[in-house]
């Protein structure tokens, strides 16, 4: 474990005096790897530079939104031009209409969509809408799936909550948590038993289509299809949380890959071009339950703000080019192939999960099918690996429960340099 540079240490000490834990989101605190975080001064392309002048190849990309890399000209120019006409109106603007039209064209399950300001807002609003539409109270989620920090969903959560070893948050009333039923992921028998017992009380299932907040976990064959069929059978709704996977794994996200049609979908990250954003959409008859048409209230002062909408549209247009999603798949495949060869050659127990430009490396030889498997990897080995990579200029997520991201700014040379660093670090562990 190393300490950051002197200026980062000074800033972190100052931050702890005025910000709880010194950070504005828990995973940034490096709690799961020990030590202190560094502070970023600037970033460009595939690299970030800390306040002490050290440069890193970055595999976080602001936790997913920066799919074109850091500070791409198409985004910065768009923000600059749009900002000259105003950064927020609280009044409808043309960019939000174009964004809504783009989402409904790219994602066949979405008939109508509403913008908000974060993934947490999107999932929270989708849950309220599902309850209002079905007139039922119970929600089903899966252990290890993280859907933001709203009270209904911060139950047996993954991501930052797991990093702190606290899958439930203080401050969530037991009465709220009682309306959220938690199941193990990839367990058809548990799902069927629950719906047999309480199916008529359940408003919706919410699921990360590919869980990516407790590592990157894939559904077993037929599992997502079961979620779809069992909700239809019992009159519940199926909500796909595609905040991470939406518009990163293709135009229609996981539902496009798996050829599925959820009732509601939640989005964020990529559609904001790096600015705060969220969206939820789905069947028109369900969405029309929202105010001002229906009785389900949802609102947001900055929802659909012109900067985020314009930046997101510029990013989506780049991804729609032949050099967009196919190129991300090329880069992801190149990295995966090299990583598998390296780890197999070194005899390091491992599992590598990758979908397009998303990847996760688990230091274990066990099959990964749910959060329990993720938790049983070699965490001590991960900590040594993380700090070794950081010391040599490669920034991975400071937690073994997070997914890595490749951007269009990464090159094969970046990936090969990263693999060289991996090899050097492994030799020293």
Q: Which residues are catalytic?
A: 146, 241, 269
- Say if CB 247 and CB 268 are below 8 A apart: no
Q: d(Cα 258, Cα 109) in Å, to the nearest integer?
A: 13
Dihedral sign from CA coordinates of 100, 209, 336, 359: positive
C-alpha Rg value of the chain to the nearest Å: 21
Among 392, 362, 360, residue whose Cα is nearest residue 375: 362
Three-state secondary structure call for residue 291: coil
Residue 64 has, within 13 A of its CA and on its CB side, a CA count of 25
Q: d(Cα 10, Cα 227) in Å, to the nearest integer?
A: 49
Among 324, 317, 260, residue whose Cα is nearest residue 108: 260
Three-state secondary structure call for residue 353: strand
Contacts of 54 (CB under 8 A, 6+ apart): 5, 38, 393
What is the DSSP track for 215-243?
A: S---PPTTHHHHHHHHHHHHT-EEEEE-T
What is the DSSP track for 76-116?
A: HHHHHHHHTT-S--SS--HHHHHHHHHHHHH-TT-SEEEEE
Q: d(Cα 220, Cα 188) in Å, to the nearest integer?
A: 10
Three-state secondary structure call for residue 293: coil
Q: In whole angstroms, what separates CA 400 from the centre of its chain? A: 14
**CA angle centred on 114, ends 66 and 271, rounded to 5°:** 10
- Say if CB 162 and CB 307 are below 8 A apart: no
SS (HEC) of 358-419: EEEEECCCCCCCCHHHHHCCCHHHHHHHHHHHHHCCEECCCCCCCCEECCCCCCHHHHHHHH
């Amino acid at each position: 474990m190393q300490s950051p540079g002197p200026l980062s240490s000074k800033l972190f000490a100052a931050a702890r005096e005025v910000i709880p834990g010194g950070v504005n989101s828990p995973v940034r605190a490096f709690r799961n790897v020990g030590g202190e975080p560094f502070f970023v001064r600037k970033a460009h392309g595939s690299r970030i530079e800390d306040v002490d002048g050290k440069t890193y190849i970055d595999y976080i990309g602001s936790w997913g939104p920066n799919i074109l890399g850091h500070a791409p000209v198409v985004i910065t120019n768009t923000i600059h031009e749009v900002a000259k006409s105003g950064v927020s109106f609280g009044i409808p603007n043309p960019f939000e209409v174009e964004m809504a039209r783009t989402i409904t064209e790219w994602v066949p399950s979405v008939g109508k969509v509403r913008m908000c300001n974060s993934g947490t807002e999107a999932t929270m609003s989708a849950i309220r809408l599902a309850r209002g539409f079905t007139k039922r109270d119970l929600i089903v989620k899966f252990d290890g799936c993280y859907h933001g920090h709203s009270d209904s969903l911060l139950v047996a959560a993954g991501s930052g909550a797991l990093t702190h070893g606290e899958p439930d948050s203080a401050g969530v009333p037991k009465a709220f948590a009682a309306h959220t039923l938690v199941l193990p992921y990839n367990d058809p028998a548990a799902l069927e038993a629950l719906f047999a017992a309480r199916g008529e009380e359940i408003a919706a299932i919410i699921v990360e289509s590919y869980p990516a907040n407790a590592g990157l976990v894939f559904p077993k064959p037929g599992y997502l299809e079961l979620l779809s069929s069992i909700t239809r059978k019992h009159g519940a709704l199926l909500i796909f949380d595609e905040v991470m996977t939406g518009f990163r794994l293709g135009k229609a996200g996981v539902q496009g890959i798996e050829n599925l049609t959820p009732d509601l979908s939640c989005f964020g990250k990529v559609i904001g071009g790096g600015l705060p954003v969220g969206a939820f959409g789905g069947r028109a008859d369900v969405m029309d339950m929202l105010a001002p048409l229906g009785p389900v209230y949802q609102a947001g002062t900055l929802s659909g703000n012109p900067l985020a909408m314009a930046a997101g549209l510029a990013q989506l247009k780049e991804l729609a080019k032949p050099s967009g999603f196919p190129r991300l798949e090329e880069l992801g495949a190149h990295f995966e192939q090299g990583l598998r060869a390296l780890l197999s050659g070194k005899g390091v127990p491992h599992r590598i999960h990758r979908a397009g430009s998303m990847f996760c490396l688990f230091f274990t030889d066990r099959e990964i099918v749910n959060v329990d498997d993720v938790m049983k990897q070699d965490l001590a080995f991960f900590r040594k690996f993380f700090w070794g990579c950081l010391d040599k200029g490669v920034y991975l997520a400071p937690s073994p429960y997070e997914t890595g991201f490749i951007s269009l700014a990464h090159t094969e040379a970046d990936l090969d340099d990263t693999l060289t660093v991996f090899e050097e670090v492994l030799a020293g562990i």
